[in-house]
Chain A
Amino acid sequence: MADSETKTAEHQRQVLIAMDESHHSDDAFDYYMKHVHRPDDHVVILYVPEYHNVIQSPMVMTDVAVVSDMMHEETERIKGVVSRLSKKLKNIGGSVKSIGGNPGEVIVKTSKDIGAAVIILGSRGMGTIRRTLLGSVSDYVMHHSHIPVLVCKHPDVHKHHGHKGSDPDHKH
């Protein structure tokens, strides 16, 4: 059962890690590497860029050129994020996908498209809406996923909300 010679591509796991620019995502990635990663894993980092600034800008109704510039700026910024995320996959088999849309929906759909075995999320920080301890995105994914979901809680989350928590130098 544990014989590495019998491993084939069929046994390779597709792992979906949803990430944004927040440190929660970096923590989730690190946790995955430390506790979940297996040598054969194929890691797909999913970045769901948000274009709120552009789409919801009042300029949309006035100056097309300005909006176009903003769009270009966003696109460049997103390229930077994708590049940074790609560096994490050095020495690990994997790829970075950047797919626009509603983060929760995109994550669930992508997990089905790639045949993921597990979805890895930070508990907060996806996007700019931060209402609850459990982010709206992780909430959505939890309710709609048909595969296991790992929600990487971070001790900071509880400190910020005034919970009496474990020590700040939480070992994990």
Chain B
Amino acid sequence: MCSRLACLRGETRESSPSCLTAAASNEKGPPRCVLVGMDGSENAEDAFNWYLKDIFKPGDRVVVVFCPDLIHGLVEQMTYPCRDTFTASVVEARDRAESIQIALRDKLDRAGVKGSIHMTVATNPGQVLVQEAEREDACMIVIGCRGRGTIRRTVLGSVSAYVLHHSHVPVMVYPSLRTSQSL
């Protein structure tokens, strides 16, 4: 298993329909690609789960674009930088990203969904999502509305705002539980 953070592509596998737990609809439409944005946040995972439950159609090819949100763990340390702590944090972040990637692969397999996972570290994850959606000819981008940032000034995170403005294809934004609870 490659342990470097790089643009990785997971295997593309097709599981038999009998283990399908994802969809309530049996309708198989024309093959389509759906792009799911992941950053490791709970909100993103909820968005993905919702896609599997409510939008997925048999035959869908899912491309999960995983941009691990590393900044928030590392930036906090910059107040009093210490090399050892920093290095440990980087390793921890990397390990966390890997385990998330494994979990994503597992989720796809269990649901019987054909798909791949692209992991990239990017300064502008929104741009990566939009570009990948074009490259993969996705019919839809599925994203949460905010990431793991602890400073919650806005309802809509910077990545979802970027994607909504720049995407050429329809965007499905899943609300954060926190927002809905406060309503």
Contacts and interface: CB of A to CB of B under 8 A. Distances in A.
- Do the two chains bind? yes
Contacts, number: 82
A111 to B, nearest CB: 11
Nearest to A132: B165
B171 interface: yes
Interface stretch (A47-55, A70-78, A84-92, A147-155): A147-155
Contacts of B140: 35, 150
A52 to B, nearest CB: 26
Given A1-B24, A143-B155, A151 B170 contact: yes
Interface in A103-161: 117-118, 133-134, 138, 142-143, 145-153, 155, 158
Q: How many of chain B's residues touch chain A, expressed as a range?
A: 20 to 34
B173 A148 contact: yes
Given A134-B164, A142-B156, A147 B175 contact: yes
Nearest to B17: A2
Contacts of A13: 54
A153 B155 contact: no
B156 A153 contact: no
A115 B55 CA distance: 18
Interface string A34-61: 1110110000000000000000000000
Interface string B146-173: 0000000001100000001101111111
Nearest to A146: B180
A36 B172 CA distance: 11
Interface in A1-55: 1-2, 4, 7, 11, 13, 31, 34-36, 38-39
B178 to A, nearest CB: 10
Contacts of B24: 1-2, 7, 11, 38
Contact of B134 (A11, A38, A117, A166): A166
A142 B173 contact: yes
Interface of B: 20-21, 23-27, 29, 32, 47, 50, 54-55, 134, 137, 139-140, 145, 155-156, 164-165, 167-175, 179-180, 183
13 contacts: A2-B20, A38-B25, A38-B27, A39-B27, A133-B165, A138-B164, A142-B173, A143-B156, A148-B50, A151-B164, A151-B172, A171-B137, A172-B139
Interface of A: 1-2, 4, 7, 11, 13, 31, 34-36, 38-39, 117-118, 133-134, 138, 142-143, 145-153, 155, 158, 165-166, 170-172
